[in-house]
Structure 1
């Protein structure tokens, strides 16, 4: 069994690799070539946390996986990961675990790449301004994915905690300097989104974190943080202005995400407003962006297949490069 740490993975696997792997994953998912049960959740209310268990299997590749990921937003106050996790990669022929990977980093990669794949497909070609709301454990990968998908001039970052925002911006200026994108702290969410071509929200908020009436025409919005019914990052005011609504998995979103469930319950949208899953766009079965004025929303909650396929791609590269620690 191969043990792969974050440092091991970073040596061999890039955000661009992850975006391409996600695209393959979405195709497999939409083609029905994977078994991806809805994730099992166990609440930890005393600590504002939740335990998540995400299995998946691809028969034609003889590979299975299980991610155990625990969402504890208050960890950020202790400088701990807000989504600590491990991914088990399992040989589909024998049932033996082939590898254990740093699931926190795999989650960051594949979640960022989910937005990155959506932006690659849906963002206007000339996108130059990005906005990022939230600076927690998933934020850095979301930021990098935006830059990989489009050659942005600037990204404006906002978080309720000003000191944390400034610390995040300073760190990202160093960590992502290769992209030559200006990264700045915004003083409000309005300032961040008002002229943004690409917007990411990645927070555990129960109330909308931006004003949907101020999103400009042509913008593409990826809402990442809402993974439970009571969570609602997205301002429902954007939905009547939206031309198309895409999902990583409509079934998964409708099982848990308040960003879509609450507007459905309030009659702001109906299921007829949904455009489809991103995998169906990649397969050519569902239309993508049709003009530069359309506002497009991508709601993603994460499916276990992304973890499985990302782990598999990393494992293959690690074996080829002789990276990782063998444990018997």
Structure 2
């Protein structure tokens, strides 16, 4: 079995290639060619944590795997990471484990690639200004993916910690040909933006202002019914609200569930799954003035296609650590 660390994956990453891989996963899902159960969350009451299991298969493209992620907030008290995880990738023909991948980096880049695909189909082609609310772990993947599909020149940032936003601004100006500015007020940060990304763990809307005609929004932070990043007004006025999975979204996405409960939105107003747009079964952006929203809660079919991408590329380039799980055994090999 091949072990791929976060640094291995970073070496192998080509964001345009990951965007293409994720697009395949989205199209397969929306064509009903995957098996992607809703995530299973096991509370660990003594530790105050959650263990999350997300299996998936996409047989037509040779993908079988499962992502495991744990969130244990009390780890901060003992100096350990709050979030840990791995992706197990298996042989679709034999079920044998092929690779074990560190999941934090993979998840960040997978989530970025989801927004990259959505931006490709839903944002105006001439978009130049990106607003990012939240500059935590997800932000860099979001920026990399959007830069892969649009010629962004200006990045406007807002974060609860202004110092972290300033550090992120300096970091991305070193890495990319963009100018970055930090705003104390999120409504100022979204003013004049062509594309808005929200990547926070907020339970309440992260901005209150109206968005201009023609704006595209990627809302990728909240993933539970009680969490939301977008105000109801944005969801209700959007001409197109697009999701990865209708089934998952109507069970997990507070950004849509809360407006539905308020009577300001309805499930039948979801324009399409992103995979339906990729497969030409639904329209992407049709008008420069449309307000479009992509609401992501994450799904395992995207994780396993990205795991396959890293695994196959690692084999070609000789990257990763080989681990032998041991030969097959039988009763005859057991010694008394």
Give 1:317's aligned residue: 313
Give 2:111's aligned residue: 111
Give 2:236's aligned residue: 240
- 1:44-123 alignment, distance < 5 Å: 50-71=50-71, 83-123=83-123
The one of 184, 192, 197 equivalent to 2:181 is 184
Distance 1:310 1:255, change over 3 A: same
Tell me, in whole angstroms, the C-alpha distance in 1 between the residues paired with 2:321 and 2:170.
Answer: 33
CA contact under 8 A between 1:76 and 1:136: conserved in structure 2?
A: no
Any stretches of 5+ residues in structure 1 without a counterpart?
none
Alignment of 1:38 onto 2:38: yes
Q: CA deviation at 1:237?
A: 1.2
Give 2:163's aligned residue: 163
CA contact under 8 A between 2:172 and 2:178: conserved in structure 1?
A: no
Q: CA deviation at 1:77?
A: 10
Question: Larger Cα Rg: Structure 1 or Structure 2?
Answer: 2
Tell me, in whole angstroms, the C-alpha distance in 2 between the residues paired with 1:198 and 1:236.
Answer: 18
Tell me, in whole angstroms, the C-alpha distance in 2 between the residues paired with 1:156 and 1:47.
Answer: 38
CA contact under 8 A between 2:250 and 2:267: conserved in structure 1?
A: no
Tell me, in whole angstroms, the C-alpha distance in 2 between the residues paired with 1:14 and 1:82.
Answer: 28
Give 2:247's aligned residue: 251
Q: CA deviation at 1:90?
A: 0.8
Give 2:134's aligned residue: 134
Alignment of 1:268 onto 2:268: no
- 1:209-228 alignment, distance < 5 Å: 209-211=206-208, 213-228=209-224
Tell me, in whole angstroms, the C-alpha distance in 1 between the residues paired with 2:80 and 2:214.
Answer: 37
Tell me, in whole angstroms, the C-alpha distance in 2 between the residues paired with 1:294 and 1:79.
Answer: 47
Which stretch of the first structure deviates more once superposed, 47-56 or 91-100?
47-56
Distance 1:292 1:78, change over 3 A: farther
Q: CA deviation at 1:263?
A: 0.7
Tell me, in whole angstroms, the C-alpha distance in 2 between the residues paired with 1:260 and 1:217.
Answer: 20
CA contact under 8 A between 2:68 and 2:86: conserved in structure 1?
A: yes
Q: Report the RMSD for the aligned CA atoms in angstroms.
A: 2.1
Tell me, in whole angstroms, the C-alpha distance in 1 between the residues paired with 2:256 and 2:107.
Answer: 22
The alignment of Structure 1 onto Structure 2 pairs a total of residues equal to: 324
CA contact under 8 A between 2:21 and 2:305: conserved in structure 1?
A: yes
Distance 1:168 1:82, change over 3 A: farther
CA contact under 8 A between 1:83 and 1:137: conserved in structure 2?
A: no
Q: CA deviation at 1:305?
A: 0.5
CA contact under 8 A between 1:146 and 1:198: conserved in structure 2?
A: no
Q: Deviations over 1:266-320 (max 9, x none)?
A: 1011122110100000111111111110000110101101010000011111101
Q: What is the TM-score of this pair, normalised by structure 1?
A: 0.93
Distance 1:157 1:43, change over 3 A: farther
Q: What is the TM-score of this pair, normalised by structure 2?
A: 0.91
Residue 90 of structure 2: SS of its match in structure 1?
strand
Give 1:304's aligned residue: 300
